[in-house]
């Protein structure tokens, strides 16, 4: 299925080896049957651990995590429907979307009319297999393309779901890149979806690649990368780390980052956190990007932003979940995501990290009238602005707003200039003795 971007904007971004690297990792993750618990999550973490040194956590079945209880662990080995003529109508080996995620085991012979109550289809998208779950309402079921169901004749069908629900554990992985301070930037991706490329192989692959890239970077903040099952996983992490959540100054939930949709950001519950402003600044320079206010529906940002925590955590994606026709269907496959869009999402994230890392509040040391820039060689230095990144306007804006009350991000918001340009100007002015850090 061709994905049509609503904005219909121009040529896609170009891709280098980085986009291919992220895509290749997503490609490895795609075939795995994941859920909120089970060996699929562990297998996924094994692959991600080849890119970043993950700490694996196991939370036993029955553990109370706030108002929730960690459920039994689920694993599925096989499933099939055999028709009256002995032909295979459905085989789990063909697609792990074929079984309702968390189905209880079942084996029996059923007439078609009784079997139909356990088969989910999409009549409006007759060639696609839907993705369905039954985490907390035990049942069994299958998902099929509507076109295939329409061809099933009356008769008796042999049905089997070889699955297991047992006392086990919920598994999540995390990696902490230590910075100069204990203040943290939380980056979180859900690991519970099976073969859905955009939602969320793209987020897992991009987050692991970002974590790998951070190893070579000295940072002011510490960066916590969390790979956890949706809802119950983030709640379990919050329950286990409640005493440390006050250290989180910025946060992002990542999902649906590999398709052709224009970048989209949902603000944190606070609405005016630094991460909200940084994302707005970066996306404000992206044609067709979308900024949305917080709502308590979505991914794990609603757990981090629950009123008992109210953390500064927003959500970054491309096409907004639930709004594109491929969402939660077999059309969310490896053809739906592209290396160039994965790389573009990576670039946006690093631009935001650059703002968080590089923001500071300068003070003009020559505030009475404009200082004479020419005699300090600053205008001449601008001749090499291709390398410096500064312009005469950025110098003037920084000098004027450097009253000890405006950070560089605040200057960017007011001036309309890019943070990168203002940061380059501030460095130049500081190097020439005209700026100091406000106390």
Question: Does residue 359 have a known ligand-binding role?
Answer: no
Q: What is the DSSP string of 43-72?
A: HHHHHHTTTS-PEEEEEETT-EETTEE---
3-state secondary structure of 202: helix
Q: What is the pLDDT of residue 13?
A: 65
Strands 362-364, 290-292: parallel, antiparallel or unpaired by DSSP? unpaired
Alpha-carbon distance 228 to 275, whole Å? Answer: 21
Going by C-beta distance under 8 Å and a sequence separation of 6 or more, which residues neighbour residue 97?
129, 130, 131, 143, 194, 195, 330
Neighbours of 17 (CB within 10 A): 9
Going by C-beta distance under 8 Å and a sequence separation of 6 or more, which residues neighbour residue 286?
262, 263, 348
Averaged pLDDT for residues 273-299: 97
pLDDT band at 247 (very low <50, low <70, confident <90, very high): very high
- State the first-to-last Cα distance of the chain, in angstroms, to the nearest integer: 57
DSSP secondary structure code for residue 224 in this structure: E
| Helices 408-415 & 419-431 angle (0-180, nearest 10) | 120
Q: Does position 158 have pLDDT exceeding 80, yes or no?
A: yes
Structural domains present in the chain? 17-70+169-357 (3.40.630.10), 88-166 (3.50.30.90), 360-437 (1.10.10.10)
Q: Does position 205 have pLDDT exceeding 70, yes or no?
A: yes
Tell me if 262 sits within 8 A of 5, measured CB to CB.
Answer: yes
Going by C-beta distance under 8 Å and a sequence separation of 6 or more, which residues neighbour residue 50?
none
Question: Does residue 406 have a known ligand-binding role?
Answer: no
3-state secondary structure of 13: coil
223 closest CA partner among 252, 255, 258: 252
Of 126-140, 276-290, 379-393, the poorest mean pLDDT is in 379-393
Q: Does position 114 have pLDDT exceeding 60, yes or no?
A: yes
Q: Does position 2 have pLDDT exceeding 70, yes or no?
A: no
Averaged pLDDT for residues 361-380: 91
Averaged pLDDT for residues 395-402: 96
pLDDT band at 388 (very low <50, low <70, confident <90, very high): low
Joined together, the tokens standing for residue 48 give: 């991600």
Going by C-beta distance under 8 Å and a sequence separation of 6 or more, which residues neighbour residue 403?
363, 364, 367
- Burial of 122-157, coded b for 16+ CB within 10 Å and e otherwise, reads beebeebbbbbbebeeeebbbbbbbeebeebeeeeb
pLDDT digits (tens, 9 = 90+) for 307-365: 999 999 999 999 999 999 999 999 999 999 999 999 999 999 999 999 999 999 999 99
Of 3-17, 348-362, 396-410, the poorest mean pLDDT is in 3-17
Averaged pLDDT for residues 126-137: 97
Q: What is the pLDDT of residue 9?
A: 34
Mean pLDDT of all residues in the chain? Answer: 94
Averaged pLDDT for residues 62-75: 98
Q: Does position 140 have pLDDT exceeding 50, yes or no?
A: yes
Joined together, the tokens standing for residue 288 give: 């067709």
Going by C-beta distance under 8 Å and a sequence separation of 6 or more, which residues neighbour residue 108?
158, 159
Q: Does position 10 have pLDDT exceeding 60, yes or no?
A: no
Of 8-22, 161-175, 269-283, the poorest mean pLDDT is in 8-22
Question: Does residue 193 have a known ligand-binding role?
Answer: yes
Percent of the chain past pLDDT 90, that is, above it, reads 91
Of 5-9, 201-205, 263-267, the poorest mean pLDDT is in 5-9
Tell me if 277 sits within 8 A of 295, measured CB to CB.
Answer: no
């Amino acid at each position: 299925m061709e994905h049509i971007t609503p904005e219909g904007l121009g040529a896609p971004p170009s891709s280098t080896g980085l986009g291919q690297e992220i895509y290749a990792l997503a490609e490895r993750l795609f075939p795995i049957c994941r859920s909120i618990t089970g060996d699929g999550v562990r297998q996924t973490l094994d692959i991600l651990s080849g890119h970043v040194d993950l700490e694996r956590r196991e939370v036993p079945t029955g553990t109370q995590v706030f108002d929730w209880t960690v459920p039994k662990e689920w694993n599925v080995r096989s499933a099939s429907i055999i028709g009256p003529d002995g032909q295979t109508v459905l085989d789990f080996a063909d697609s792990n979307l074929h079984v309702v995620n968390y189905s209880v085991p079942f084996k029996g012979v059923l007439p078609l009319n009784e079997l139909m109550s356990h088969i989910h289809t999409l009549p409006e998208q007759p060639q696609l297999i839907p993705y369905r779950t039954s985490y907390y309402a035990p049942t069994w079921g299958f998902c099929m393309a509507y076109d295939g169901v329409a061809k099933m004749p009356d008769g008796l069908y042999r049905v089997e779901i070889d699955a297991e629900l047992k006392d086990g554990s919920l598994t999540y992985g995390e990696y902490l890149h230590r910075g100069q301070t204990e203040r943290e930037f939380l980056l979180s991706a859900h690991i519970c979806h099976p073969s859905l490329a955009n939602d969320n192989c793209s987020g897992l692959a991009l987050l692991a690649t970002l974590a790998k890239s951070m190893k070579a970077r000295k940072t002011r903040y510490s960066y916590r990368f969390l790979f956890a099952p949706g809802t119950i996983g983030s709640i379990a992490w919050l329950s286990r780390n409640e005493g440390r959540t006050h250290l989180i100054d910025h946060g992002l939930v990542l999902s649906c980052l590999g398709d052709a949709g224009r970048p989209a950001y949902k603000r944190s519950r606070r609405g005016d956190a630094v991460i909200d402003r940084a994302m707005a600044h970066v996306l404000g320079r992206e044609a067709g990007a979308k900024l949305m206010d917080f709502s308590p529906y979505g991914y794990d940002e609603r757990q981090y932003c629950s009123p008992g925590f109210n953390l500064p955590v927003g959500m970054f994606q491309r096409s907004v979940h639930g709004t594109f026709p491929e969402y939660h269907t077999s059309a969310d496959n490896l053809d739906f995501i592209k290396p160039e869009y994965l790389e573009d999402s990576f670039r946006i994230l690093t631009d935001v990290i650059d703002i968080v890392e590089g923001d500071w509040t300068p003070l003009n040391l020559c505030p009475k009238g404009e200082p004479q820039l020419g005699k300090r060689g600053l205008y001449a230095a601008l001749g090499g602005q291709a390398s410096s990144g500064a312009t005469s306007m950025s110098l003037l804006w920084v000098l004027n707003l450097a009253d000890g009350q405006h950070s560089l991000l605040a200057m960017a918001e007011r001036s309309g200039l890019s943070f990168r340009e203002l940061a380059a100007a501030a460095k130049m002015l500081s190097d020439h003795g005209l700026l100091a850090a406000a106390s």
